[in-house]
Amino acid sequence: MIKGKKYITVLVIVLLIFSCKRVSNSDSNIDYSSKLKQVVDRGVLRVVTDFNSTSYFIYRGQPMGYQFEMLRELADYLGVELEVIVNNNLSEKFELIKNGEVDMIAVNLTITKERREIMDFTVAHTQTHQVLVQRKPDGWDKMSAGTLEDSLIRSQLDLAYKTIYVQSNSSYAKRLYNLSDEIGDSIDIREVDEGVEQLIEKVALGKIDYTVSDENIAMVNETYYNNIDISTPISFPQNLAWALPKRADDLRESINNWLVYFKNTSQYAVIYHKYFRNKRSAEIIESDYFANSSGIISPYDKVIKQFSEEIGWDWRLVASMIYQESRFNPKAKSWAGAYGLMQLMPTTAKKFGIDQNSDPNQNIRAGIMFIKWLDERLSEIVDIEERRKFILASYNVGLGHVLDARALAAKNGFDENVWDNNVDQFIINKSNPKYYTDPVVKYGYCRGTETYNYVAGIYKRYEHYRNLVIQ
């Protein structure tokens, strides 16, 4: 679990204050009066966000995105893990928070009177204004600046009788309805269950003529759709915030305190510029390894899928493991002599018929054979999902050390067949003389924290892959 040590004292004070408070709620059985305590006790902050080219995506095997990086920093501050749910349907997001299935909606939400009636908002995490996204005419690159300008909508009055597609229940739709009243003419507003980036793509491809977007998102999309224009404002500057359940006051205040602090740091500036001012945005989105659109995690997906089927594993879990081992670099070599995508030690590699001259496909095949070998030796662990965690741990630190940790767990009254909060604690303890000198231990000392982090890291990345890459 990621720990935010710097803020533990602050959290303890906040928890003591708010743990004494209870707000009666006749409309719901969910008590939000100590929401912060619930999150900290659970050890997990559950959020729902969008999957798109700015909020949350996979690039070259690694989860990225403005919302994702901000949320990761927030989870670190709270001292909890981050659990991300993806859903691009705004109405469904509202239902998730209403039903208590998530702690927060982490997207670019504008604050409206109607929304305030059903949820609360943090302070702004950023500011922007809404713009019209329209397509430049064919041959625009050969037009004079004046001719091009004359062909585009620049006055909001000219939106009368135009058909504009926007995401359902969004602030874009509300703004257009208000704008229709302001200009005294009808705007044909089509609310659809598609995300803003999908609609921008449709404008660029000529499938629709107009949509509306926050300027910062539109600017990113303009870098890889050079035939769109985003220079016509639709709204005044607006604050964008995250949403929480009503009466989750302690969690909201804690997040607000962090946002006020964090937004003034150089780290926030780096994150913001990385996603909204970065000229490499187009390169990322157009890459074959932008998994949100391509469904590709690495150059070796086809081979990973093929060999994963032989052992009945989700190929995305194996891909996460390979990323952890080598970052998909077939020439990777460790200080201990492990090499290739699967980072097999020379003795193990030889056992499964490869050497340093073998190609990446054969390296993956040998790694899968090693996983199968470990699976056979851990077959007494009946639960398949649990067994996979033990296999991954054994792949990292060696089967002997994992068997030692199981023996220690059993001796100390823990479940030797369950990894989380059971055997994983004893793999960590194998660096402590009290444990590695115990008579049940056959393989002595090991630096078990690395193995704990190895398994946790693979599964955390696997969850991101499952969120964004179709099996």
So which residues are the catalytic ones?
A: 325
Which of 88, 276, 295 is CA-nearest to residue 195?
88
Element containing residue 388 per DSSP (H, E): helix 384-397
CA–CA gap between residue 121 and residue 399 (Å, rounded):
49
> How many residues are listed for the chain in this entry?
471
DSSP state of 137: P
Which of 126, 118, 134 is CA-nearest to residue 169?
118
CA–CA gap between residue 308 and residue 162 (Å, rounded):
51
Q: By the 8 A CB rule, do 403 and 458 touch? A: no
CA–CA gap between residue 121 and residue 108 (Å, rounded):
11
The pairing of strands 81-86 and 188-192 is unpaired
Identify any residues that bridge with 4 across adjacent strands, giving them in sequence order.
none
**Looking at this protein, which amino acid is placed at residue 449?**
T
CA–CA gap between residue 366 and residue 243 (Å, rounded):
48
Q: H/E/C letters for each residue in 226-276?
A: CCEEEEEECCCCEEEEEEEECCCHHHHHHHHHHHHHHCCCHHHHHHHHHHH
- Residue-by-residue DSSP string for 69-121: HHHHHHHHHHTSEEEEEE---HHHHHHHHHTTS-SEEEEEEEP-HHHHTTEEE
Strands (E), 269-396: none
Identify any residues that bridge with 470 across adjacent strands, giving them in sequence order.
none
Q: By the 8 A CB rule, do 128 and 237 touch? A: yes
The CA distances from residue 402 to 123, 171, 321, in Å, are: 47, 53, 18
